[in-house]
Structure 1
Amino acid sequence: MNFKIQYIITAVVLTIILGSAVSCEKLIETDFPNNQIASDLVFEDEQTAEAALAGLYSGMWETSMYSGGINGKGALLGTYTDDLTCFYTSASNGVLDLYLNQQLPTNTAVTAFWTNAYQLIYSANSIIEGVGKSKSLSQVVKDRVRGEALLVRSMLYMDLFQIFGEVPYTDTTDYLINSTLKRMPEGEFLIKVETDLSESVILLPAVYRNTERIYPNKYAGYVTLAKMKMLLKKWNEAEVICSVIMQSSLFSYQNDISKVFQKSGTHIIWQLKPKNTNDATKEASLYNFTAAPMSFAMNPDLVNSFSAADLRRQHYFTAVPFGAQVNYKPAKYKNLAVNNPTEYSVIYRLDEIYLMQAENFLQQNKISEAIPMINRSRQRAGLAALASTLSVTEAMTELRKEKRREFFTEQGIRFFDLRRWGMLDQLNSVKPNWKSSHAKWPLPQKELLVNPNLNPQNTGY
């Protein structure tokens, strides 16, 4: 892992991002060499702690894997699997090679993905350390701030693991330690992340600290922990957690398909706010085209998976004729430019919990409990309910179809589902260059050169 990144003193970053008047002296106690982020971050009051967290979330929205833009999982894993067709004509940004499944360890998109993730992990570790050193923050504030930073770090680790395989784990800002880290063995790594997530759920309050749900609470932690339990095939534990979420009075299912991506819905569990008021989401901007696509269009195989009666054809994507060709653009987010009073970028929504729960039930042969979970999104889309007489195998097939139709281009869900189901190799029917070794991305070559302890490279690269 290359931690010789640009020197960014956290206080300065936050001042730039937030326009805050917080002084550097309040956030740091000493000067630092030019190749390190300040590691002696200490929070003197709740305001500085909130500013640090705001910087972390701004980083998530801007360029991280959770961004709805070109750096995000929605786009990169969407074109890597079978959600999106890539129309970039140059391979310089690395995305075209991901679409063609011809990525190399020098791929610029892969390198940026890794670097952005570990920069956020470093920021989260800095916040955790700063909270731990503070003698002035109340225990309630310490717990919440630590819980939020732990959650973000755990999310990053869990997704990095699923994309790259074994990766380094660090909970320190110590440069000497971080510059020589090895990839942590899978079993040890997953135990650490599961433990961190469990702690974050305990620490996070159930009440949102902002009514727009732009910061995570305990239930966002529950969603992530449930995903980890499913990754570990702990189906009963995942079922219990999903039940807790669905039974909360904070959330209600959105039955109006035209409002699924509106920020005010009580089906939203966590969403990221654009940097400026009324800015478009990155998703709306990235996928918009009015003639020939310049970046992405929906994969024809995905378009053909929707029946004519499916209301998602009207609300989730749009046909764009150009000459004799018709391409389809994802249109879950519709507001463009500076005319967006209604949409933020969704990280978690209740709809996903219903289909996660359906999978938990089916993995335990609870067919009668699973079918109603699948039917919620089907019926909202104007489709007939599935019969309760389906077999477990038939119901699982329907669940897989429904998850693809409901969550395309959202946070890489398609890739993570196919990986968990052991079905990534089915992509060879729509991706001619797909190989089994593509289940993992290559580790960036520049990271291996800086830190040889990260070797060996993933198989196939």
Structure 2
Amino acid sequence: MNTKIKNITVLFLLVIFSAGCTKDFLSETNKSAITQENYFTTASQAQAAITGIYPMLHTFNQEIEFRGDAVWSLLEMPVGHIGLGGSQYKDGSIKHTNSANEPVYKMVWSGFYNGISNANLAIEKIPGITMNDAKKKSLLGEAYFLRALYYSYLVKLYGDIPLITKPINFSSPDLYPERSPKEKVYDLIVSDLLEAEKMGLPKVDNTGKASLGAVKSLLSGVYLTMAGYPLNKGNTHYQLAAAKAKEVLDGGYYKLFDSYDYLHDRAHKNKDELIFQVQYLAGVKVNRITEFISPSGISKLTSDLGTVVPIKEFVESYEANDKRTQEKQFYFTEDYARGSTTKIIKFAPALYKYWLEEGAGKNGDGNSDQNWTLLRLPEVMLIYAEASNEVEGPTSYAYDQINKIRTRANLVNLKGLTKDQFREAIWRERYHELAFENKAYFDIQRTRKVYNLKAGKFEDAFSYINESGVKFNQQYMLWPIPQSEIDVNKKLSPQNTGW
């Protein structure tokens, strides 16, 4: 398998990193010829090994052939809530007409398996290093968490995938691996996260590294996914999801921001409700998130690409008076023209949720270095509400979770709902609160439901025609295995359905 062959060389990119600083896992330049045979002997090398697992998270924001598309934006497009136009591939993603040869499918596959390779090496080698035991355990906790995180995306995106847990070399039996059943992949994810829980990680971390709160939050989401399609574990895993989410909520690990501005500024990175983010820093590692959402003529950044623009029906699907739809909360419709402090440009609603004022605004410095959020407190609150509702119907504690989110949005509290009504209320809140955070596509996978924006209700994913004129078919419940991988390793056949 050619990805694995490349991973043999990628493994040693990690040796350049020094220990302990957020800046360290923002760069991947290889400056060392050290091999694994003479490496992994000191505590600083153990730290460097862990630091080397993080950079592959930048795959989410990696641009695809300079098209104005990135992995995160293309995860949103099959849902149908982004307007057409910008690139052929973007439109193909929205219309569900792409081929298995599209570069994004290989990009994610290779990037995340590279992260897994580095995690596997750390997990195997660090136990043999003589160093402080508590620090050793904590580092291993990070490795288990990150391996689980990478696998959690790969299994949701590709289904049955190779399950690699040991370092690869040219004589390894897994150099050309077979696909493992998705249930076995989930078993490893759960096992890794349970192991990470025991490793003495700090409850929270404000530097961008893994924490106990991040471990528990991810695990609650994994259990929720396992409860639905395609595994259909049902009540046992709804109970597990609710219990794990409640540990986070009761533990006081995180708190909601009192301003939506804090979701996308520099001062509040990795703080309060932001559980786990991909790290960026001006002068070290930047991204084009703000450029992707920026309407023409306003940004101080390199360009205004405007490729990730919500359709008006989505913005209009929020309840009346929802604070999130007010100007410069989650969306905006005007801003200063580039280079002007007086001229205002008006435009269709755009994602202010990802606007970095310090970089792109009228007084901005031209740097796009906002973090990309993978886990946020409102998601954990809604996981608890949804999972507990499936087991015992609406409870006061479940109402508390969703109503805290609604109160911040200036909406009335929910009450007196049936189990079915409460379920749909939670799903709607996920669409609105977690909008464009790469949750909707995975919600469609696990529920087989899509949101009818105009009717405000949920429809069967395989029969409803969305606002982009598309209905899901079985093909788009998964991404294809990259065709170039199958061409090299026939054990990866057959291709996913429809591709």
Q: Normalising TM by the smaller chain, what interval? A: 0.7 to 0.9
* C-alpha displacement of 1:428: 3.2
**1:5 counterpart = 2:6:** yes
**1:351 counterpart = 2:352:** no
Alignment partner, residue 428 of structure 2: 401
Aligned 1:153-164 pairs, distance under 5 A:
153-164=147-158
Aligned 1:101-112 pairs, distance under 5 A:
101-112=96-107
**1:223 counterpart = 2:217:** yes
| Residue among 122, 130, 135 paired with 1:136 | 130
TM-score by length of 2: 0.79
1:78 and 1:408 in contact (8 A); partners too:
no
Alignment partner, residue 121 of structure 1: 116
2-side partners of 1:415 and 1:331: how far apart? Answer: 21
Taking CA–CA contacts closer than 8 Å with sequence separation of 6 or more, which of the two structures ends up with the larger relative contact order? 1
Q: 1:20 to 1:350 in 2, by over 3 A?
A: closer
2-side partners of 1:241 and 1:6: how far apart? Answer: 34
| Residue among 453, 464, 467 paired with 1:430 | 467
Alignment partner, residue 312 of structure 2: 300
Alignment partner, residue 458 of structure 2: none
1-side partners of 2:6 and 2:182: how far apart? Answer: 27
Q: 1:207 to 1:67 in 2, by over 3 A?
A: farther
Alignment partner, residue 190 of structure 1: 186
1-side partners of 2:189 and 2:270: how far apart? Answer: 31
1:41 and 1:127 in contact (8 A); partners too:
no
2-side partners of 1:444 and 1:20: how far apart? Answer: 24
| Residue among 481, 489, 496 paired with 1:451 | 489
Aligned 1:68-87 pairs, distance under 5 A:
74-87=72-85
* C-alpha displacement of 1:278: 9.1
2-side partners of 1:99 and 1:73: how far apart? Answer: 14
Alignment partner, residue 272 of structure 2: 266
| Residue among 242, 247, 254 paired with 2:245 | 242
Alignment partner, residue 332 of structure 1: 353
| Residue among 283, 290, 294 paired with 2:296 | 290
* C-alpha displacement of 1:22: 11
- Letter paired with 2:443: D
1:68 and 1:75 in contact (8 A); partners too:
no
Question: Relative to structure 2, which stretch is displaced further, 64-73 or 234-243?
Answer: 64-73
Alignment partner, residue 411 of structure 2: 383
Q: 1:41 to 1:222 in 2, by over 3 A?
A: farther
Question: Relative to structure 2, which stretch is displaced further, 7-16 or 114-123?
Answer: 7-16
Counterpart of 2:309 in 1: which secondary structure? strand
Greater than 6 Å deviation, 4+ residue runs: 19-23, 66-71, 339-342
RMSD after superposition:
3.2
Write the deviation string for residues 254-273 of structure 1: whole angstroms up to 9, x where unpaired: 23333344326422222232
- Letter paired with 1:80: P
Counterpart of 2:277 in 1: which secondary structure? strand
2-side partners of 1:218 and 1:58: how far apart? Answer: 20
TM-score by length of 1: 0.85
* C-alpha displacement of 1:166: 0.9
2-side partners of 1:108 and 1:356: how far apart? Answer: 32
Aligned 1:138-177 pairs, distance under 5 A:
138-175=132-169, 176-177=172-173
Counterpart of 1:428 in 2: which secondary structure? coil
* C-alpha displacement of 1:372: 2.1
* C-alpha displacement of 1:245: 0.5
**1:318 counterpart = 2:316:** no
2:148 and 2:193 in contact (8 A); partners too:
yes
**1:15 counterpart = 2:16:** yes
Alignment partner, residue 418 of structure 1: 444
Q: Where does structure 2 lack aligned partners over 5 or more consecutive residues?
A: 18-22, 228-236, 298-303, 338-344, 451-460
Q: 1:455 to 1:325 in 2, by over 3 A?
A: farther
2-side partners of 1:445 and 1:20: how far apart? Answer: 27
Write the deviation string for residues 22-60 of structure 1: whole angstroms up to 9, x where unpaired: 9847x535xxxxxxxxxx474232322222333322231
* C-alpha displacement of 1:117: 1.4
Counterpart of 2:276 in 1: which secondary structure? strand
Q: Where does structure 1 lack aligned partners over 5 or more consecutive residues?
A: 30-39
- Letter paired with 1:28: T
Alignment partner, residue 43 of structure 1: 40
Write the deviation string for residues 99-118 of structure 1: whole angstroms up to 9, x where unpaired: 22112111111121211111
Question: Relative to structure 2, which stretch is displaced further, 5-14 or 173-182?
Answer: 5-14
Counterpart of 1:85 in 2: which secondary structure? coil
Residues matched between the structures, number: 439
Question: Relative to structure 2, which stretch is displaced further, 174-183 or 252-261?
Answer: 252-261
2-side partners of 1:135 and 1:6: how far apart? Answer: 23
2-side partners of 1:221 and 1:6: how far apart? Answer: 26
Counterpart of 2:497 in 1: which secondary structure? coil
1:278 and 1:341 in contact (8 A); partners too:
no
